[in-house]
Amino acid sequence: MAQYQNILVAVDLSEESSSVIDRARQIAQAGTQLHLIHVIEPLSFAYGGDIPMDFSGIQDEIHEQASAQLKRFAQSHDIEPARQHLLLGKPDVEIQALAEELDADLIVVGSHGRSGLALLMGSTANGVLHGAKRDVLAVRIGK
């Protein structure tokens, strides 16, 4: 089994995120660096760019809340601030880009094991898996 030196752990900050980082820790060995990433999707992605509303105030509030949640989550898992990454964009794209920037040799991401229409529509784990240039571990979470 490969020894990973630099692992990027993608979390959605739900209760299930702990199982994702726990799995990464099981793989990590002495000297392995763990980085956390949480990606906020812009509200304009969800509602389309044609809605004549200014979402900036709401987006700022979402960012502040996510930042505080990520900080608490990271502290509870002993991840130093320099290895906490909060980004805005399309999750699979941002995860892949940061993995490239950090030269991560493994991406660990949670997967809900969807099937049917949800599988066809794709998920963050699926998007990361199909676009990654490095190993990806999809940790099954939930039911």
Task: Give residue limits of the domains in the chain.
Answer: 6-140
**In terms of Cα–Cα distance, which of 62, 119, 125 is closest to 92?**
125
Does residue 62 carry a pLDDT above 80? yes
* Direct distance between the N- and C-terminal alpha carbons of the chain, in angstroms, rounded to an integer: 28
Assigned CATH for 6-140: 3.40.50.620
8 Å CB contact between 44 and 17: no
pLDDT number for residue 15: 87
pTM as predicted: 0.85
Q: What's the mean pLDDT in 71-94?
A: 96
Question: Does the pLDDT at position 121 exceed 60?
Answer: no
